[in-house]
């Protein structure tokens, strides 16, 4: 088979695939657990009225709830990951649909739990918790209920919202099916003049091509394809915005932003601090882009020029096995136990490596409590893929440590802190590469890569966060949004964040159309927050600060046992202040200076 044609799933070597059989050896086992959950869900109703009657009744009800949820999580993660292997596979579409329907049933059956717990006298509930150690694994769950009780509705209203869960998930599902299964891209000519199918997985690789014609063709072709779906995607996205506004309003929040941040016990000032800090430091970004333009020898820097490595004659082709060894060495500062766990992940079927027809684009780490974590990615033989692998293994190792050290109700950590573990791995990899390379040209390449990572993680994600803030704000104000409106908002932000020194090609106005994270409201800002926190922690680890590694491992092992800001404080970082973001931006500026001096 030609290397330029994507293989089908069954044509991919099993050694390159994740081993989902570690969750369910056979689908008969999945069906068995499906029947178990089907039988457990009705029993949840049997605890109604008993939760508030006594501490024993509350403990029994919570035990039933979490036992059911644990199996359901296992069912859903398996089905969804099977579907992600090939989104066009109708068998696993159906399996995922069944699991999602079961999730809705579970949510509906358990919708009375939080309102009933809220009805318990607060002092009495706290007394139960303090006097009975059996409540320890439910302490965080109960504390959050007490904190959020003003936003919990009546049992009947909660039941209705739970029943609407599947419908509310439609915009995200429709976008996923369109973006990952139905959309097909034309062929373009690669650097050798060969006709190659453009895919989302190959898009960034094309934008990193030394041949400007390839970069431009990939850019123009991608957005020409998306433009054909402009009305469908715009309607889908606006429906998602309205869904978020509806739910936040129903729960008596002032906005969907407030609702999204409240789940992490994070104030809007943290969100605003991030945007303000970044927008007050855009000159560093402009300076970097000017260095990029000069290094590439261009009269004009276009949007299809902002990803290509700017150091010439460096061809870092890094096969998967080589990239894996680089990551292991880079993460040695985290200690032998961490590295041993990392090696186990590389060798034990955690990772699905390569792109195939229908496979979900991008990369993620996921799994369930009763099996090791998993990583999906679409590895290309380049440095960007090595960093992606390091990033996702950061998530996986966070899950690994949390599941090993926390009971099920406390193991699940929030996205807010998840990005710390992944980004710290990227930072350590950068420092390892710079510490082991003396050649100025190669160092410049690594510095450029680090600047690109920072640009993508902090500047770009903050731009996304601002776009979300504006778009959601329009819906809150009752202002209708069209495809043209969304493009206009996005285009203005691109110009602001890139400055007058970059040609903002008209196609870039459509970039919002292809960002799946926008269907999970106010998610992307956490990447930028996580990068800033990780920078601070990594600095302590690399400088050999006493206790820095132990504190970090303790943080990884804490799961969701506290609120994100508090967990990070225990690791030595206070994200309620703007200082960590400001410090990260100073580091970015210093790297720009280093690159400028080399170039």
Angstrom CA distances, 404 to 141, 412, 558, stand at 19, 11, 10
Least confident range from 330-339, 417-426, 435-444: namely: 435-444
Q: By the 8 A CB rule, do 284 and 588 touch?
A: yes
Query: Locate tokens 């082991």: which residue?
Result: 436
CB-count exposure of residue 54 (10 Å: 0-12, 13-18, 19+)? exposed
Please compute the mean of the pLDDT values over residues 561-566 and round it to a whole number.
Answer: 93
Per-residue pLDDT reduced to its tens digit, 200-242: 889 989 999 999 999 999 999 999 999 999 999 999 999 999 9
The 10 Å CB-count burial string (b at 16+, else e) for 203-236 is: bbbbbbbeeeebbbbbbebbbeebeebbeebbeb
| pLDDT at res. 175 | 96
Domains and CATH numbers, the chain: 9-168 (1.20.140.70), 184-228 (1.10.287.830)
Query: pTM above the 0.85 mark?
Result: no
332 is catalytic: no
Long-range contacts, stretch 176-182, CB < 8 angstroms, 24+ apart = 176/87, 176/360, 176/516, 177/87, 178/229, 178/232, 178/233, 178/236, 179/361, 179/514, 179/516, 180/87, 180/358, 180/359, 180/360, 180/361, 181/87, 181/88, 181/358
Percent of the chain with pLDDT over 90: 80
Least confident range from 28-37, 199-208, 283-292, 403-412: namely: 199-208
Q: By the 8 A CB rule, do 83 and 20 touch?
A: no
E strands in 137-215: 187-189, 195-197
Which member of 208, 392, 452, 468 is catalytic? 392
Q: What angle do CA 105, 108, 113 make, to 5 degrees?
A: 130
Residues 523, 500: Cα–Cα separation, whole Å: 29
| pLDDT at res. 313 | 63
DSSP code for 22 = G
Q: By the 8 A CB rule, do 345 and 393 touch?
A: yes
Please state the φ and ψ torsions of residue 412, each to the nearest 5 degrees.
Answer: -70, 115
- Reply yes or no on whether the pLDDT at 453 is more than 90: no
Residues ≥6 apart with Cβ < 8 Å to 394: 421, 422, 423, 424, 425, 426
- Reply yes or no on whether the pLDDT at 1 is more than 70: no
Per-residue pLDDT reduced to its tens digit, 75-125: 999 999 999 999 999 999 999 999 999 999 999 999 999 989 999 999 999
| Other residues' Cβ atoms within 10 Å of the Cβ of residue 575 | 24
Percent of the chain with pLDDT over 70: 99
Helix or strand (DSSP H, E) at 112: none
């Amino acid at each position: 088979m030609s290397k330029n044609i994507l293989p089908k799933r069954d044509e991919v070597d099993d050694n390159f695939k994740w081993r989902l059989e570690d969750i369910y050896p056979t689908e008969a086992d999945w069906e068995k657990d499906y029947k178990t959950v089907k039988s457990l869900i009705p029993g949840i109703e049997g605890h109604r009225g008993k939760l508030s009657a006594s501490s024993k009744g509350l403990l029994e009800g919570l035990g039933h709830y979490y036992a059911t949820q644990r199996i359901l999580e296992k069912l859903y993660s398996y089905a969804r990951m099977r579907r992600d292997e090939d989104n066009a596979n109708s068998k696993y579409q159906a399996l995922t649909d069944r699991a999602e329907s079961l999730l809705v049933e579970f949510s509906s059956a358990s919708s009375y739990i939080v309102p009933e717990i809220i009805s318990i006298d607060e002092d009495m509930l706290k007394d139960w918790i303090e006097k009975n150690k059996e409540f320890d694994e439910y302490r965080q769950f109960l504390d959050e209920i007490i904190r959020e009780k003003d936003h919990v509705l009546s049992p009947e209203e909660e039941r209705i919202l739970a029943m609407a869960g599947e419908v509310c998930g439609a915009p995200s599902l429709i976008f996923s099916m369109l973006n990952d299964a139905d959309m097909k891209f034309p062929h373009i000519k690669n650097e050798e003049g060969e006709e190659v199918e453009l895919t989302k997985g190959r898009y960034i690789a094309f934008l990193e091509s030394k041949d400007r014609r390839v970069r431009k063709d990939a850019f123009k072709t991608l957005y020409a394809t998306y433009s054909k779906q402009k009305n469908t995607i715009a309607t889908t996205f606006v429906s998602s915005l309205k869904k978020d506004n509806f739910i936040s309003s129903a729960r008596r929040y002032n906005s969907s932003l407030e609702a999204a941040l409240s789940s992490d016990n994070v104030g809007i000032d943290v969100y605003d601090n991030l945007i303000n800090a970044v927008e007050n430091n855009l000159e560093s970004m402009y300076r970097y882009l000017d260095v990029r333009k000069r290094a590439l020898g261009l009269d004009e820097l276009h949007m299809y020029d902002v990803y290509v490595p700017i150091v010439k004659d460096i061809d870092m082709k890094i096969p998967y096995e080589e990239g894996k060894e680089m990551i292991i060495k880079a993460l040695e500062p985290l200690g032998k136990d961490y590295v041993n766990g990392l090696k186990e992940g590389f060798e034990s079927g955690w990772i699905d490596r390569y792109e195939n027809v229908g496979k979900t684009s991008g990369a993620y780490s996921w799994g369930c409590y009763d099996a090791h974590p998993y990583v999906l990615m679409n590895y290309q033989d380049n440095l960007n893929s090595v960093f992606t692998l390091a990033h996702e293994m950061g998530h996986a190792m966070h899950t690994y440590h949390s599941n090993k050290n926390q009971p099920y109700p406390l193991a699940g950590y929030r996205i807010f802190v998840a990005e710390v573990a992944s980004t710290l791995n990227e930072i350590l990899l950068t420092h390892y590469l710079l510490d082991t390379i003396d050649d100025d040209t190669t160092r410049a390449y690594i510095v450029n890569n680090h600047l690109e990572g920072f640009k993508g993680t902090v500047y770009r994600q903050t731009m996304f966060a601002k776009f979300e803030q504006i778009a959601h704000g329009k819906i809150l104000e009752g202002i209708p949004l069209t495809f043209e409106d969304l493009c206009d908002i996005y285009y203005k932000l691109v110009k602001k964040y890139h400055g007058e020194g970059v040609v903002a090609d008209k196609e870039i106005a459509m970039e919002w159309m292809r960002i799946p994270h926008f269907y999970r409201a106010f998610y992307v800002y956490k990447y930028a927050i996580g990068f800033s926190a990780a920078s601070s922690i990594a600095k302590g680890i690399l400088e050999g600060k006493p206790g820095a590694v132990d504190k970090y491992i303790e943080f990884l092992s804490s799961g969701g046992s506290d609120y994100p800001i508090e967990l990070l404080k225990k690791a030595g970082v206070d994200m309620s202040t703007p200082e960590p973001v400001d410090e990260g931006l100073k580091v970015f500026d210093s790297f720009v200076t280093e690159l400028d001096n080399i170039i």
